[in-house]
C-alpha cells in the first residue's frame, strides 16, 4: 500500500475550525460554512482617547467543498466452500483492500491540494530566494545542511510563529534522516535544526523542477482535511444480509469509512461458486474537504500559509 502521511497529517488538523463538520453536514448535498477567528492587522495609535471606537472583524467564514472517494467489492456465501480460507477472513481482507485503495487516492488528493494552494509570492528573503516561476523558496546547494534552519527563518520572515508541519519528498527525507543523526557528540552537529518541526515523508510528493527534493511546509494546523460519512452510516441501519441492505461504518488505520451492503440471488458457478448462491455487495466511501487558514498580509508577505521549499542543485 502506498502510504498516506500527508492525508493523515491534514486529517489530524481537522479541529482548527470552530464547528464540527460531521454535525453540520447532515447530507451530501447540504452546503455548510465554517468559521475561523482571524488576525486583524492595523497600525497602533499614539495615545489614549475618551471616544475610541473599534471594528467588528474578528472572524471569517469558509465554504467547505467536498470530494468523495469510493470502492466496491463482492463475495458470495458459497465462494469459499472449496477454499482453505474462511468467509470472515476473506471478507475482512476485501474490505481492507477497499480502504487501502481509497487512502491511496486520498494521498493523491492531499498532495494535489497542497501544491495547488502553495504560496505564489514572498517578501524579500534573507537566507533563501523565491523562484516566482516555480512558486518555490529555493535553498542554495551549498546551504543544504542548514535547510530546516533556513526554512524556519523564512517562516519568521513571513510573521509565522510556532511549530511547523513539514511534508517531505523521499530525497529530502533521506537528507533529513542523515542530518538528524548528526547529534551533539558528532564533529558536525546538525540535529539542532529539528526541534519545532513535525516531519512526514510522502512518496507521492515531487516537483519536476527540483531533482534534489522539495518539502511543503505550513504553520502547524494551518491546513486540514475534514473527513465525513453520512449520519445514517454512523447511526447504523438495516441488515447487510437482506435485499434492501444496510448502512454502517468500517474503521481502518484510524479512518472511519461509510459502509453500505446488500444481498442478492446469484449464479456464481463461473467464479468458483455455485449455480444457486447469494452474493453480498459492499461499497466503502469517504468524503473529504481540504482547507487552509486565511491570511491578512496578502500584499506584503505570502499569500498562503502553505509554502514549497526546494533544494537547489
Per-residue pLDDT of the chain (313 residues; tens, 9 = 90+): 999 999 999 999 877 665 677 777 888 888 887 777 777 777 888 999 999 888 877 777 778 899 999 999 999 999 888 888 899 999 999 999 999 999 999 999 999 999 999 999 999 999 999 999 999 999 999 999 999 999 999 999 999 999 999 999 999 999 999 999 887 777 788 888 899 999 999 999 999 999 999 999 999 988 999 999 999 999 999 999 999 999 999 999 999 999 999 999 999 998 888 999 999 999 999 999 999 988 866 678 899 999 999 999 9
**C-alpha 67 chain-centroid distance:** 13
Of the candidates 221, 224, 225, 108, the residue with the CA atom closest to the CA atom of residue 165: 221
Query: Residue 191 corresponds to which cell in the numbers above?
Result: 540535529
**Residue 298 has what pLDDT?**
65
How far apart are the two ends of the chain, measured CA to CA in Å? 31
Residues making up the chain, counted from first to last: 313
Give the whole-angstrom CA distance, residue 286 versus residue 250.
11
125: left (phi over 0), alpha (psi -120 to 50) or beta: beta
**Residue 19 has what pLDDT?**
61
Give the pairing of strands 136-139 and 197-201.
unpaired
**Residue 211 has what pLDDT?**
96
What are the Cα distances from residue 312, in Å, to 70, 112, 125, 130, 207? 39, 22, 16, 11, 12
| Structural domains present in the chain | 72-116+230-285 (no CATH), 121-223+293-311 (3.30.2320)
What are the Cα distances from residue 233, in Å, to 26, 127, 238, 249? 11, 52, 10, 6
Query: Residue 62 corresponds to which cell in the numbers above?
Result: 469558509
Amino acid at each position: 500500500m502506498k502510504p498516506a502521511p500527508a492525508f493523515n497529517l491534514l486529517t489530524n488538523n481537522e479541529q482548527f475550525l470552530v464547528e464540527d463538520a460531521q454535525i453540520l453536514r447532515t447530507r451530501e448535498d447540504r452546503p455548510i460554512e465554517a468559521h475561523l477567528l482571524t488576525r486583524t492587522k492595523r497600525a497602533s495609535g499614539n495615545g489614549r482617547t475618551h471616544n475610541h471606537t473599534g471594528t467588528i472583524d474578528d472572524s471569517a467564514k469558509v465554504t467547505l467543498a467536498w470530494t468523495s472517494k469510493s470502492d466496491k467489492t463482492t463475495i458470495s456465501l458459497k465462494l469459499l466452500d472449496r477454499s482453505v480460507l474462511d468467509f470472515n477472513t476473506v471478507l475482512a481482507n476485501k474490505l481492507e483492500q477497499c480502504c487501502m485503495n481509497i487512502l491511496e487516492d486520498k494521498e493523491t488528493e492531499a498532495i494535489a491540494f497542497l501544491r495547488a494552494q502553495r504560496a505564489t509570492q514572498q517578501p524579500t528573503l534573507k537566507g533563501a530566494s523565491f523562484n516566482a516561476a516555480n512558486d518555490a523558496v529555493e535553498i542554495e546547494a551549498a546551504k543544504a545542511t542548514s535547510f530546516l534552519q533556513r526554512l524556519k527563518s523564512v517562516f519568521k520572515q513571513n510573521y509565522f510563529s510556532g511549530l511547523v508541519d513539514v511534508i517531505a519528498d523521499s530525497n529530502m527525507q533521506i537528507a533529513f534522516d542523515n542530518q538528524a543523526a548528526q547529534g551533539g557528540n558528532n564533529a558536525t552537529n546538525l540535529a539542532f535544526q529539528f526541534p519545532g518541526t513535525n516531519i512526514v515523508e510522502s512518496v507521492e510528493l515531487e516537483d519536476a523542477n527540483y531533482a534534489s527534493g522539495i518539502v511543503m511546509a505550513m504553520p502547524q494546523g494551518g491546513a486540514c482535511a475534514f473527513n465525513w460519512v453520512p449520519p445514517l452510516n454512523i447511526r447504523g441501519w438495516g441488515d447487510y444480509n437482506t435485499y434492501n441492505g444496510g448502512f454502517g461504518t468500517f474503521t481502518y488505520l484510524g479512518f472511519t469509512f461509510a459502509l453500505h451492503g446488500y444481498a442478492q440471488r446469484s449464479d456464481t458457478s463461473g467464479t468458483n461458486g455455485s449455480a444457486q448462491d447469494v452474493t453480498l455487495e459492499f461499497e466503502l466511501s469517504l468524503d473529504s474537504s481540504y482547507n487552509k487558514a486565511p491570511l491578512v498580509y496578502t500584499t506584503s508577505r505570502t499569500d498562503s500559509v502553505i509554502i514549497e521549499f526546494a533544494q537547489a542543485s
